[in-house]
Amino acid sequence: MPNQTPVTQDSAIIRKLASFGALSSTDMTVLSDLHQRRRRYASGREMVRQGHRNRTAYILADGWAVSYILLPDGSRQIVDVRIPGDFLGLGSMLFNKSSQNVEPITTVEASEIQESDLLSAFAATPNLGRALLWAASRDQSMVAGRLTSLGRRQAPERMVHFLLELGVRLRLVGLADKTGYACPLTQYHLADLLGLSPVHVNRVLRDLREAGMVTFQNGHVAFDDLPRMVAFADFDREYLDDKVPAQW
């Protein structure tokens, strides 16, 4: 019965999918059933490992994780930040080996999903399959957006753009409002995410703070001047709002 005070408790994915269209009660039931094998994962311990065979996926119920690619020189690129309501490791179901690592950055609560369960869920309600495919495509288009940021935006714009995008995603699951959100990412995470050095991340954040635009401090992101952020980073307000599943 997902009806507790913290909105994140396993209903995150339901909330997310529902915000884009009606989920039938069947959809919700099937979705809840996927949440059987709920487990807890400690921060820092990889859940999915690059190059390893692993045919399970997860639904993130609580906590944050990052998926990343490791280069042999030791550097890494974080491909995506995963927040409550997101799927983890869907790719490893399709391939023999995962091409990315997934590591919790806080204590994480997630439900293990076996391929067979997912397939039968799809069979039970095609609508749900469509919704999940939509969510996956949305994730993909966000990665393309980040690629664009890395390729064609300067560090400060890149930073603001990311912080806004994350805000939109968090709002979908009730973890952010117009003033900002709690954020467990460190400056090192931001560096690996945005293709910068930690030192430069620090300077950029200081400049943005002093400019009165956005404050990233003490595990909290505060939008000091949202309109200016949007203009500065050229953030498409429709960015994710509009990515509603077709036909809904």
Partner DNA sequence: CGTTTTATTGAATAGCCTCAATATCGGTGG
Partner DNA sequence: CCACCGATATTGAGGCTATTCAATAAAACG
Min separation Cβ 1 and DNA, Å: 31
**What residues form DSSP beta bridges with 38?**
111
203 makes contact, choosing from DNA, a copy of itself, none, with CB < 5 to 8 Å by partner type, with DNA
145 makes contact, choosing from DNA, a copy of itself, none, with CB < 5 to 8 Å by partner type, with a copy of itself
**150 touching DNA, by CB under 7 A:** no
Min separation Cβ 210 and a copy of itself, Å: 24
74 residue type, one letter? G
Distance between CA atoms of 187 and 13, rounded to whole angstroms? 27
**What residues form DSSP beta bridges with 68?**
78, 101
- What lies within 8 Å, CB to CB, of 44 at 6+ separation is 103, 104, 105
Distance between CA atoms of 204 and 170, rounded to whole angstroms? 23
72 makes contact, choosing from DNA, a copy of itself, none, with CB < 5 to 8 Å by partner type, with a copy of itself
Residue 25 in 3-state DSSP? Answer: helix
Nearest CA among 10, 163, 189, 20 for reference residue 103:
189
Tokens of 180: 């900002």
Q: Between the CA of residue 1 and those of 13, 28, 33, 85, 212, what are the distances in Å?
A: 14, 11, 11, 16, 43
152 makes contact, choosing from DNA, a copy of itself, none, with CB < 5 to 8 Å by partner type, with a copy of itself
How many of the chain's residues bind DNA (CB under 7 A)?
19
Residue 31 or 66 with smaller CB distance to DNA: 66
205 makes contact, choosing from DNA, a copy of itself, none, with CB < 5 to 8 Å by partner type, with DNA
Nearest CA among 16, 57, 53 for reference residue 34:
57
76 makes contact, choosing from DNA, a copy of itself, none, with CB < 5 to 8 Å by partner type, with a copy of itself
Residue 141 or 179 with smaller CB distance to a copy of itself: 141
Residues that bind a copy of itself (CB under 8 A): 55, 69, 71-73, 75-77, 79, 91, 93-97, 99-100, 133-134, 137-138, 140-141, 143-148, 150-153, 192, 194-195, 234, 242-246
Judged by CB under 7 A, the residue of 219, 231, 237, 241 near DNA is: 219
Residue 158 in 3-state DSSP? Answer: helix
Residues constituting the chain: 248
Q: Which stretch binds DNA (CB under 7 A): 28-36, 94-102, 112-120, 184-192?
A: 184-192
Q: What is the contact surface with DNA in residues (CB under 7 A)?
A: 154-156, 186-188, 195-200, 202-203, 205-206, 217-219
